[in-house]
Structure formats: structure tokens, C-alpha cells
């Protein structure tokens, strides 16, 4: 059975790899990008199974128009992939507010716009999958210099959890993808590193210094192929971590959360009426 994919940010990185993997599997792809002419080679190779569409995800009306174009060409959508996103590096204190907001506009509000444009289509057919690209930072957080990017990724996760709960009876599924370091242009030409104040050299500066130091371990082509296989399963995970380093980070973070919750459990419970109060604070 042929699946129709709607993928944002298809010109490079994960979006491009996923579009190629879906097409190689015999599916149809609505490949959106700010510069759809960058997808001409895919059209030459795969013909009318590819529909390039110009889309700036920060424009809600454009998102609606892109979904309408997809439905006109392919008579519906099966899988929506919110991949478009980018990050700039600066401390929260020193990043210009308009830069912080522009990143959030793409990384969160772009997801919101595309989801709202696609939901009526998926509801009408009573089926469909929405794939949200987050990052391992959207789970564990705390990467110096990525305040706007990681805040948006946490917001995407929370937003998606609510959407999944609201639409559970409607046949719509959700998958949050949390990659670690991958060999894409995310930390390349699309990333700006702003001036770093001396007091942030040890934290934000250390993050900036990692850029381009070595090739990331993650293979975006493998990731694209994995996602095509996973999305076509009936048993879909709510979250999928990608990359060996990301798996280690996720497991370490979860263990730490459980240990902290257990250590403070008596204090936490004591806030309720009827519980022992006051509770002793943990030693140390």
C-alpha cells in the first residue's frame, strides 16, 4: 500500500534523507522547502511521485495552502513530518530577542501551524501519523548556548503529548523523534554562533567549540530508512531516540530522575493534607 508523506524542511538533512527513503520504498512525498528548486533532482529521479512545495512554516496560511496542494495532487496525506528547524548559539542573556523569537517561530510555531493545517485532513479519514522532530536535547536539556532551540523542542514534546491525548479516539498517531548528533548541516552553515562574553566561555564557548570539530556519528540516511520502517508499524512508540550516544544520555537522564524523585518522595508527599508533616529533608 502506497503511503503519502508530507515532509517539512526537505531540501537537506533529515528531511531530505527521509524523503529519499520514502521514495525508495515506493511511496509518494510532498517535499516542502523554502527553496523547492533544491528538490529538482528528486523530481527528475522519481517523477510525479514527488510534489515540491514552497513553504515557510512560520506562515500559517502557507501551511494550509501546502496541505491543500498535497491533497489536490495525491488525494490526501498519510504521514506528516515536522522536520524544519534550526539553531543559533549564544547565551540566553546575550542572544538578541528577535533571534530567540525567530528560532522559536520556526522550531515550535512552525510545528503548530503544520499540525493545525493537517489535522482536518487526518480527522476526515480517521487515520494518519504525525512525526515531530525534537532532539535528545528536547528530553535531557541543558545544552549551553541552545536556549531558544531546546526550549522550543521541550514545547514541541508537551504540545504533542496533549495533541495525542486529545485525538486518541480519532485514529491519529504521534511519534516524537529525538536524535543525537547526526552528520547533517544542523551545526554547519545554517547555524550562527554569536559573540560569547568572557563569563560564558566555559559553558557556551565550550559548546561552540564542538562545532565542526569531528564528524557526527549519526547517519541521516540510516535514520530515514529506520523511520520509514517504524512509521509503517501498527505498534508505534511515542518517542524514538536515534543514535548510540543519545540512547546513553536518555537512559542516564531517566535513571537520575527516578533516583531524585525517590530521594525526595517523603518531602513531596508531605505537601498533601493527611500526610505526615513536616518531613525530614534528605541528608547531604
φ/ψ of 54, rounded to 5, equals -75, 130
112 catalytic per annotation: no
- Indicate if 149 belongs to the active site: yes
CA–CA gap between residue 174 and residue 16 (Å, rounded): 21
Instruction: Let me know if 232 is a catalytic residue.
Output: no
Question: Residues 106, 107, 109, 111: what is their CA dihedral angle, to the nearest 10 degrees?
Answer: 110
Give the contacts of 28 (CB within 8 A, at least 6 positions apart). 2, 3, 4, 5, 22, 49, 50, 51, 74
Active-site pick, 91, 112, 135, 153: 153
Helices (H), the chain: 13-24, 40-46, 60-74, 97-104, 110-125, 137-140, 147-167, 206-210, 220-231, 244-263, 265-269
Cis peptide before 278 (omega within 30 of 0): yes
From first CA to last CA, the distance across the chain in angstroms is: 59
Of 11, 134, 135, 148, which is the active-site residue?
Answer: 134
Torsion angle of the four alpha carbons 153, 21, 240, 187, in this order, in degrees rounded to the nearest 10: -40
> Does residue 159 contact residue 138 with C-beta atoms inside 8 Å?
no
Contact (Cβ atoms closer than 8 angstroms) between residue 28 and residue 6 = no
Query: How many C-beta atoms lie closer than 10 Å to residue 258's C-beta?
Result: 10
> What is the rounded CA–CA span in Å between residue 206 and residue 103?
21
Distance (Å, rounded) from C-alpha 152 to C-alpha 195?
22
CB atoms within 10 A of CB 89: 24
* Catalytic annotation, residues: 134, 149, 153
Amino acid at each position: 500500500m502506497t503511503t503519502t508523506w508530507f515532509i517539512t524542511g526537505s531540501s537537506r538533512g533529515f528531511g531530505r534523507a527521509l524523503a529519499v527513503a520514502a521514495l525508495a520504498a515506493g511511496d509518494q512525498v510532498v517535499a516542502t522547502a523554502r527553496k523547492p528548486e533544491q528538490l529538482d533532482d528528486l523530481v527528475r529521479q522519481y517523477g510525479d511521485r514527488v510534489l515540491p512545495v514552497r513553504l515557510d512554516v512560520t506562515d500559517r496560511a502557507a501551511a494550509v495552502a501546502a496541505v491543500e496542494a498535497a491533497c489536490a495532487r495525491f488525494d490526501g496525506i498519510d504521514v506528516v513530518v515536522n522536520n524544519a528547524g534550526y539553531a543559533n548559539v549564544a547565551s540566553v542573556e546575550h542572544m538578541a530577542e528577535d533571534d530567540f523569537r525567530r528560532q522559536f517561530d520556526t522550531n515550535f510555531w512552525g510545528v503548530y501551524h503544520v499540525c493545525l493545517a493537517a489535522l482536518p485532513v487526518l480527522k476526515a479519514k480517521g487515520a494518519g501519523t504525525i512525526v515531530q522532530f525534537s532532539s535528545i536535547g528536547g528530553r535531557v536539556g541543558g545544552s549551553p548556548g541552545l536556549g531558544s532551540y531546546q526550549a522550543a523542542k521541550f514545547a514541541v514534546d508537551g504540545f504533542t503529548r496533549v495533541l495525542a491525548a486529545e485525538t486518541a479516539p480519532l485514529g491519529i498517531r504521534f511519534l516524537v523523534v529525538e536524535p543525537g548528533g547526526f552528520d547533517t548541516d544542523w551545526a554547519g552553515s545554517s547555524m550562527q554562533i554569536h559573540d560569547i562574553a568572557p563569563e560564558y566561555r566555559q559553558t557556551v564557548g565550550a559548546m561552540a567549540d564542538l562545532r565542526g570539530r569531528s564528524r557526527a556519528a549519526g547517519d541521516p540516511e540510516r535514520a530515514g530508512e529506520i523511520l520509514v520502517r517504524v512509521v509503517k508499524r501498527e505498534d508505534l512508540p511515542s518517542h524514538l531516540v536515534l543514535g548510540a550516544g543519545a540512547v546513553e544520555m536518555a537512559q542516564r537522564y531517566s535513571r537520575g530522575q527516578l533516583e531524585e524523585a525517590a530521594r525526595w518522595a517523603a518531602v513531596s508527599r508531605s505537601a498533601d493534607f493527611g500526610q505526615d508533616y513536616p518531613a525530614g529533608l534528605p541528608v547531604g
